[in-house]
Structure 1
Amino acid sequence: MGSFNGFILTNNGKKLLEEALTGKRLVFTKFQFGDGETTEDPKEVTELVNMSKETAINQIENNGNGQVMLRVIIDNKDIDTGYYIKEIGVFAKCDDGEEVLYAYNKAMKPDYLPVYNGINLVELEYQNYITIAQIEDVTAIIDENFTYLTKEEANEKFVRQTQIANESERGIISGLDIRRTEILNILGIDYGGEFGENLTSIKADKVYFYKDPKSGRTTPYVALVSKTGIFKTPEIGLFTSLTNRDNLLYKKLTLAHSTLNNINIVNAFLFGNLLFVNGFVTNATWFNSLPVGSAIANIGTMIPEIMNHGVENTTVTGTNLDLRTDFSLTKALANLTVKEAEHFTIIAGLTKGTIR
């Protein structure tokens, strides 16, 4: 990264500052970058010697100490010739008045911006501290199309997709957790969570889901005791499968078709009104080429026993599928690809009673 002398308020900038101190709003409008070198006093400069790129402001922060921080990011996507950044100018105006070069900065060690060849994308971020004295009404024109998040800002504002929320840390609560809770509520059963590093306590009679890492299938288990620890798998003596707990509510469903239109169903069973279906996509290339919302296969056709029932509170895990109320599987998202033989688990609440 290059080094610069620091922004010097130009004479025009000083006049603008004095005008703003009378109660007008100071508005920062843009930045310019160039490869020119002035021999003038920076206070006398009214424009860049050789402007190479003009860009919008990404962020403004008023630090309350007589300075404002203006963040700007430039890249080499639209330049025809590489150049050294030897001068930077920030422009401003008062209210709707005339825009002027507010402050000027000369490089001691310039940054180089090469020509973009389709591979070597270069982005340079500058955090520029500009004098505003005691002005309270100060803003900037922010172009939302050119607003970037730094890694630090992203860490502060957002959480990782793998960061699960708990009592002491921010994180995500998956839609899957919410929908599973809704589905189990239909049966009067409490959902406890998923097996793994984040499951550190269990409560008797709550249901916990285990996803087999090899097959990708998801199976529900009931905790027999309340206990703390780390529960990665359903240990014998601590958990029992829902299918073992009450066989009166459990039924394995017969498949009329195990494969239909590149969807393969491995097994399907009911626990009360709760439908579980495990399967996988047999042709990932074909699937990924489909438009969003494409109907792929109807699991009601594959499992006729469920066809006289409605479906609600559905979720599909493990792949890019949605289950509609007519039992048709559709492609869910445009930007999510599936792998060959990628497993999925369908969990759905059936209406119109329980199949026996």
Structure 2
Amino acid sequence: MADYTNMYMTKKGRKLQAKAESGVLLKFTKVSIGDGQNNGQNIDDLTALISPKKDLGISGIQVEIDQCKIHSSIDNEGLTEGFYVWEVGLFAEDPDEGEILFGIIFAKEADFLPANGGTTGVNAEFEIIVIVGNAKEITAVISNTGYVSREEFNKLVIRLDATSQRAEKNTDDISKISLKLTNLEQSFSNNFTNNQFTEDFYTLDDVIVSRGVYDSVNKRLVM
């Protein structure tokens, strides 16, 4: 991807940031890209991209102390006409004003995003780092479509491996319990006269009966 400047926070974005630091939920909703260029416009008053072309979903959010990383990906699915990606916008939900343009980023040198259906398929993962200060609670609308990031995929693989190992251990434990139950059922079915266990009254020496009567013929203890 192209090299981009730091994010410019809009006036409405700064107001929402102040609300978030007072306890209001900071909820990011989407990322948008366009081909508008920064030609000295008053970015403070922007409420949308200069020339929006495509909305992107948010695939993940990672909060770290006073900043958070917004994960997304650029693709050309459904794009009928290619364009140079000069601007990237981050949108958030303001409890008083609805969805707002929280901040905007401009490319120093833009990359071209070709239309879909050509010889080039495009999917590029990226993240936007946002300084959130003392915001009490941060969240995002996570898109159900799109691609899993490499980091998220690796975490999922680790979780699946751990789950698989636990499942194998559980299967082994269940097999051992099943064998023990089978031995018990067999012993009960013949009134313990043919005990299935390794140690029994046939192999034990020096039996001392402290309670009950020892049946030496059938080799069993009668209580």
TM-score by length of 1: 0.44
Which residue in 2 is equivalent to 1:91?
91
Q: 3-state DSSP class of the match of 1:3?
A: coil
Identity %: 27
The one of the two structures with greater contact order (alpha-carbon pairs below 8 A, sep at least 6) is 2
Q: 3-state DSSP class of the match of 1:99?
A: strand
Shift of 1:160: 11
Distance 2:115 2:87 in 1: 18
Partner deviation per Cα, 1:185-212 (whole Å, 9 max, x = no partner): 76xxxxxxxxxxxxxxxxxxxxxxxxxx
Gaps of 5+ in 1: 187-356
Distance 1:131 1:143 in 2: 22
Which residue in 2 is equivalent to 1:64?
65
Partner deviation per Cα, 1:270-318 (whole Å, 9 max, x = no partner): xxxxxxxxxxxxxxxxxxxxxxxxxxxxxxxxxxxxxxxxxxxxxxxxx
Give runs of ≥4 in structure 1 deviating > 4 Å.
170-179
Distance verdict in 2 for CA 1:26–1:122, change over 3 Å: same
Shift of 1:159: 4.5
Which residue in 1 is equivalent to 2:198?
none
Which residue in 2 is equivalent to 1:216?
none
Q: Which amino acid aligns with 1:47?
A: A
Q: Which amino acid aligns with 2:130?
A: I
- The answer to whether the aligner puts 1:54 opposite 2:55 as a matched pair is yes
Conservation of the 8 A alpha-carbon contact between 1:11 and 1:43: yes
- The answer to whether the aligner puts 1:44 opposite 2:77 as a matched pair is no
Distance 1:50 1:135 in 2: 30
Q: Which amino acid aligns with 1:49?
A: I
Distance 1:175 1:136 in 2: 39
Distance 1:24 1:81 in 2: 40
Distance 1:34 1:175 in 2: 48
Distance verdict in 2 for CA 1:75–1:182, change over 3 Å: same
Shift of 1:145: 2.9
Shift of 1:30: 0.9
Q: Which of 1 and 2 has greater Rg?
A: 2
Conservation of the 8 A alpha-carbon contact between 2:24 and 2:136: no
Q: 3-state DSSP class of the match of 1:144?
A: coil
Alignment of 1:237-276 (within 5 A): none
Conservation of the 8 A alpha-carbon contact between 1:75 and 1:124: yes
Distance 2:30 2:149 in 1: 20
Alignment of 1:40-189 (within 5 A): 40-65=41-66, 67-95=67-95, 97-117=97-117, 120-146=120-146, 148-159=147-158, 172-173=164-165, 178=171, 182=175
Conservation of the 8 A alpha-carbon contact between 1:32 and 1:55: yes
Gaps of 5+ in 2: 180-223
Conservation of the 8 A alpha-carbon contact between 1:33 and 1:52: yes
Q: 3-state DSSP class of the match of 1:110?
A: strand
Q: Which amino acid aligns with 2:10?
A: T
Distance verdict in 2 for CA 1:172–1:33, change over 3 Å: same
